[in-house]
Homo-oligomer: A and B are copies of this chain.
Amino acid sequence: MIDAVTIKEVKLQLGELCKQKRQSYDMSQQDLAEALELSRYTVQKFENGKNATLDTVLKIVNHFDLLGNLYQALKDLEKSNDINSLY
Q: How many copies does the complex hold?
A: 2
Is A40 among interface residues, defined by CB-CB distance under 8 A?
A: no
Give bound CA distance, A81 to B10, whole Å.
20
* Complex interface residues of chain A between 1 and 59 (CB less than 8 A to chain B): 2, 4-7, 9-11, 13-14, 16-17, 20, 24, 51-55, 57-59
Contact A68–B5 (Cβ < 8 Å)? yes
| Given A71-B10, A71-B13, CB of A66 within 8 Å of CB of B58 | no
**Contacts A11-B54, A54-B53, A55-B51 hold; do A67 and B5 have CB atoms under 8 A apart?**
yes
Residues of chain B lying within 8 A (CB to CB) of residue A16 = 78
Whether A58 pairs with B7 at a CB distance below 8 angstroms is: yes
